Amino acid sequence: MPSGKVENLWEHLHWLVVLHEQGSFSKAAAHLGVSKASMSQHIADLEKAAGVMLVQRTTRSAALTDAGRRLVESVRGPFDQIAAGFSDVRDLAAQPRGLLRVTAPVAFARQQLVPRLPGFLQQYPEIQLELDMSDRVRPLAQEGFDLAVRHTAVPPPTHVAWTLAPTRAVLAASPAYLAAHGTPAAPPDLAHHRCLFYPRTQGASTWTFLPAEGASTDPVTVPIAGQLAVNNSEALRDAAIEGLGIALLPDFSAQSALQAGSLTEVMPDWRSTGAFGAWLYLIRPYTAHTSRVSQVFVDHVRSAFASGFAT
């Protein structure tokens, strides 16, 4: 390759943008489906052509220099326009087609989302759906996701969001547990009970409540303790069914057990605040264009949840 000249310049620039988004050569190579050596060589060729260092390399990460950041920012807009233009052309196809990558919380995906997917996949046989079930909040653009389900009070302002369904937190325990240990009537009573809760990274675990009828009063925050803390509502629900304590659950996890009688709602005159978001949202990173594949998925899922959660 002649000094100062790069063949397929657009490919090299695209790989630099991906490297910036992924943060390391190994992650960028995996994202692009190429070898790490090829990734490194492309960037080295681009630096040689530019005559300036674009990437600061360490054993674990790759950070762009000021020149590299300026270059990425200058080409990101044209790349977005190219992607949108290609998506517009592909959307002219009679059937939406292509790969759709979605991430969603484990319990919600297992109990509520997956049962609603067969109809979507049958209606759109040219769409390949990749569903990532994780309770970790994944950075969508960085990890290549098209859409995400988020359980939150307010969706991130940097994303496009569609409301999916309202949700609330439910305090519940098995009839056997309540028969053995009594039924709490107000938040302070929880100090005498085994509580099943999401673990916190630091500090004591607490639950906060307000009167369900909206009486004018300050929130009541109580410390809670128990033998089991799990970062998954499905596991907490199952532990509560087994009589291990009182669990605070999102309604979509508790609903079937409450209807079956294996769980009983506790303290219905109080509502939890701050534990879970009041809405489930579908979100995507902000761009001016929504691909047809993403849009038909959004339309299907929102319609499927219009009648409430599955039991």
Mean pLDDT of 105-119: 93
* Residue 288 sits in the same domain as residue 217: no
Residue that finishes a domain, picked among 53, 71, 90? 90
In a domain, 198, yes or no: yes
Q: 184 vs 77, which has greater pLDDT? A: 184
pLDDT of amino acid 87: 62
At 311 the pLDDT is 62
Look up residue 271 and give its DSSP letter: E
Q: Could you tell me the CATH number of the domain that includes residue 183?
A: 3.40.190.290
Domain membership flag for residue 1: no
78 versus 249: the higher-pLDDT residue is 249
The answer to whether residue 4 is domain-embedded is: no
In a domain, 3, yes or no: no
Tell me which residue range forms the domain holding 74: 9-90
Q: Which DSSP string do the residues of 26-67 spell out, in sequence order?
A: HHHHHHHTS-HHHHHHHHHHHHHHHTS--EEE-SS-EEE-HH
* pLDDT score of 241: 98
What CATH number is given to the structural domain containing 70?
Answer: 1.10.10.10
2, part of any domain: no
Buried b vs exposed e over 31-49: b needs ≥16 C-beta within 10 Å?
bbeeeeeebbebbebbbeb
Which one, of 142, 108, 212, lies nearest residue 170 by Cα?
212
> Is the predicted pLDDT of residue 299 greater than 90, yes or no?
yes
265 and 187 within one domain: yes
Q: Do 258 and 177 share a domain, yes or no?
A: yes
Q: Is the domain of 153 the same as that of 292? A: yes
Residue 56 belongs to some domain of the structure: yes
How would DSSP label each residue in 136-178? S---HHHHT-SEEEEEESS--TTEEEEEEEE--EEEEE-HHHH
93 vs 84: CA distance, rounded Å: 15
pLDDT for 119: 93
Residue at a domain's end among 70, 90, 110 = 90
Quick one: which of 225, 222, 265, 228 has its CA closest to 244? Answer: 228
Q: What is the mean pLDDT of the chain?
A: 86
Alpha carbon of 158 to those of 25, 280, 306: distances in Å? 26, 17, 26
- The confidence band for 3, taking pLDDT boundaries of 50, 70 and 90, is very low
**Matching residue, tokens 């100062």:** 4
Model confidence band, residue 2 (pLDDT cutoffs 50, 70, 90): very low
Task: Identify the pLDDT of residue 202.
Answer: 58
**% of the chain at pLDDT higher than 70:** 89
Residue 224 in tokens: 């809670």
Fill in the DSSP letter of residue 212: T
23 and 69 co-located in one domain = yes
| CATH number, domain containing residue 114 | 3.40.190.10
* 244-271 pLDDT, tens digit each: 999 999 999 999 999 999 999 999 999 9
- Indicate the DSSP class of residue 197: B
Mean pLDDT lowest among 186-190, 234-238, 276-280? 276-280
Per-residue confidence (pLDDT) for residue 236, from 0 to 100 = 95
The whole-angstrom separation of Cα 164 and Cα 169 is: 16
Per-residue pLDDT of 37-76, as tens digits, reads 888 888 888 888 888 888 888 767 788 888 888 888 888 7
121 and 62 part of one domain: no
Please give the tally of structural domains in the chain. Answer: 3
Are 72 and 20 in a shared domain? yes
Looking at the fold, whether 16 and 47 belong to one and the same domain comes out as yes
Q: What is the DSSP letter of 310?
A: -
pLDDT of residue 113: 95
